[in-house]
């Protein structure tokens, strides 16, 4: 096997002096995560598959193009770079691992539209004609998935299921009887404190001869004394409740 050491634009063509065919390749590999790309896991096996595919007379342009894929990305810049180099050099794109990519619409469409020749180490019979079939199959499968998803969502909506993504919201569990009792006790203590706070003022007013509930409420409002709620005005009912709470 020969290794290209000249500029990317040069390429041996035709046959060797002995008449054996010469094919120039640009290698394309892919790993699924950045961590896998750095560690070399999976990449070594693909590089070995590439070496096994090459004949002694073949030329492999350097360096190979390694795609680090992510589930959040659909673009493949290394694939586009490899295709562009094939266009410039007339080389054949050598894909180390086609497998599931054969069902990816974006990937097979890129191959179809590129116009470059390609080979796949794990799919040796693949060719440009087959890519057209793969594109049609992938697009049909994607359309079927879309239709099934829409049908499932429509059925869920008809059943009254609330649709929408998970935003991290979790409804609180209904309060227990113990929770209700504790909350009630807290409110009662707060109300008692406020009633006892106004008690000295009421006793002083009553000592001054103010006896009616309405008159007590009017005098409290004139003094600007806060109500138990902290807002609004005193009423005869509010005064009565405060006195009753203190009496208890």
Residues annotated as catalytic are: 32
Do residues 60 and 25 make contact, with C-beta atoms less than 8 angstroms apart? yes
Do residues 227 and 238 make contact, with C-beta atoms less than 8 angstroms apart? yes
Q: At what angle do helices 213-223 and 177-207 cross, to 10 degrees?
A: 90
Q: How far is CA 211 from CA 204, 214, 227, 228, 240, in A?
A: 11, 9, 19, 20, 12
**What does the buried/exposed string (b/e) look like for 169-206 if buried means 16 or more CB atoms within 10 Å of the residue's CB?**
eeeeeeeeeeeeeeeeeeeeeeeeebbeebeeebeebe
**Residue 63: cis peptide before it, omega within 30 degrees of 0:** yes
């Amino acid at each position: 096997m020969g290794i290209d050491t000249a500029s990317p634009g040069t390429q041996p063509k035709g046959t060797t002096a002995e008449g054996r065919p010469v094919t120039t390749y640009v290698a394309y590999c892919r790993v699924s995560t950045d961590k896998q790309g750095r560690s070399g896991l999976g990449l070594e096996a693909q590089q070995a598959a590439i070496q096994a595919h090459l004949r002694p007379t073949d030329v492999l342009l350097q360096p190979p193009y390694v795609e680090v894929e992510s589930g959040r990305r659909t673009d493949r810049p290394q694939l586009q770079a490899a295709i562009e180099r094939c266009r410039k050099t007339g080389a054949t794109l050598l894909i180390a691992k086609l497998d599931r990519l054969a069902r990816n619409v974006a990937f097979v469409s890129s191959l179809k539209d590129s116009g470059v020749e390609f080979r796949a180490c794990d799919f040796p019979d693949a060719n440009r004609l087959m890519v057209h079939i793969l594109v049609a199959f992938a697009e049909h499968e994607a359309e079927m998935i879309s239709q099934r998803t829409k049908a499932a969502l429509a059925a869920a909506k008809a059943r009254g299921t609330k649709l929408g993504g998970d935003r991290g919201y979790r409804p609180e569990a209904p309060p227990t009887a113990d929770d209700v009792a504790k909350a009630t006790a807290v409110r009662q203590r707060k109300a008692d404190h406020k009633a006892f706070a106004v008690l000295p003022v009421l006793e002083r007013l009553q000592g001054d001869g103010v006896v009616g509930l309405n008159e007590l409420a009017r005098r409290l409002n004139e003094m600007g004394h806060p109500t138990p709620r902290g807002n609004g005005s005193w009423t005869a009912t509010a005064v009565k409740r405060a006195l009753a709470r203190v009496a208890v």
